[in-house]
Amino acid sequence: MGTMIKNLLALVASVVVVHISYLAYIRPQANKLIDAARAAGQAPPRDLTIILRDYEQEICIILLLWGAFLIVSKCLDIIRKERHLFNLDLYKEAEEHAIEISKESGGTDVSQKDILDGLDSLPKNLRDTALLSVLRAGLRRYLITGNVQNAADAIESGVEAFGSRIDAENSMIRYIIWAIPSIGFLGTVRGIGEALSQANQALSGDIGGMTGSLGVAFNSTLVALLISIVLMFMLHQLQRLQDGLLVDTQSYCEEILLNRISRVDEAA
């Protein structure tokens, strides 16, 4: 719920910032340039404010900022909350914690169940990470079945489940990237429709209205395609981080957990 509220606030902030920018500068400056060009009997210049002035471009920029926020926040979550865990031996730390608790109670032996309890006692923000979730699932399966192969299967299934979850969480970003060219195409249709409605004026020699409408059509398509290219690049970087996280999670669990419980089986 907290993530959803944060994302909605980011959308509202994007709408407010972009709309204020349009009202305060982009549209007034574009209208000023267009009026000056018409007074001089010239075509409007290819200024950035003129290219961006229409409503379709405004919506595309809002979606650009929102989509960039979603992507960057996911990347930062992976870097800050996930990646540093691979530098720790979580199994060993849980084992040492269990040993300390056992000594305080007068015991000496530590079981795999005690180690799992140590992992389960970690803060919720750590337990929700891919690494801790898969590690706990593998150890829990081993405690239930007593079989190392079943633990390995649980690790593989956990990694696949997390991959599906990550893919589902990226669905809104993919929708935004799909929606932006569609909005640009709507601007194209609107501009061409306005241009056709002014065909009679063009036949009488006044082509200013038609060229302005065609400018709306081409500008909206140009802006939408450029924005979708930028967001698609950012999405690919996010997916690269996420795929690397899943691969490293499986390797970590196999190295840290499976090797340990295999030695426990051999010793038994």
172/245 Cα distance (integer angstroms): 20
- In this prediction, residue 1 has a pLDDT band, given cuts at 50, 70 and 90, of low
- Please name the amino acid found at residue 2: G
Asked whether the beta carbons of 60 and 184 are under 8 A apart, the reply is: yes
Q: Which residue has the tokens 């009679």?
A: 200
Please answer whether residues 71 and 238 qualify as being in contact, where contact means their C-beta atoms are separated by less than 8 angstroms.
Answer: yes
The CA distances from residue 33 to 37, 96, 213, 221, in Å, are 6, 72, 16, 21
Instruction: Give 96-145 pLDDT, tens digit per residue.
Output: 777 777 776 665 566 778 778 888 777 777 778 888 888 888 888 888 88
Residue 22 in this model has a pLDDT that exceeds 70:
yes
Of the ranges 8-12, 50-54, 130-134, the best mean pLDDT one: 8-12
Q: Which pLDDT score is estimated for 60?
A: 93
User: What contacts 75, CB < 8 A, 6 or more positions away?
Assistant: 237, 238, 241
The pLDDT value given to residue 83? 85
pLDDT at 209 over 70: no
Q: Quick check: 78 pLDDT over 60?
A: yes
The 8-class DSSP code of residue 84 comes to G
Ranges 15-29, 56-70, 176-190, 205-219: which has the least confidence:
205-219
Structure confidence at residue 199 (pLDDT): 55
- How remote is the C-alpha of 247 from its chain's centroid? 19
Q: How far apart are CA 135 and CA 119, in angstroms?
A: 9
Task: Report percent pLDDT > 90 for the chain.
Answer: 31
pLDDT above 90 for 10: yes
172-198 residue pLDDT tens: 999 999 999 999 888 777 777 666 656
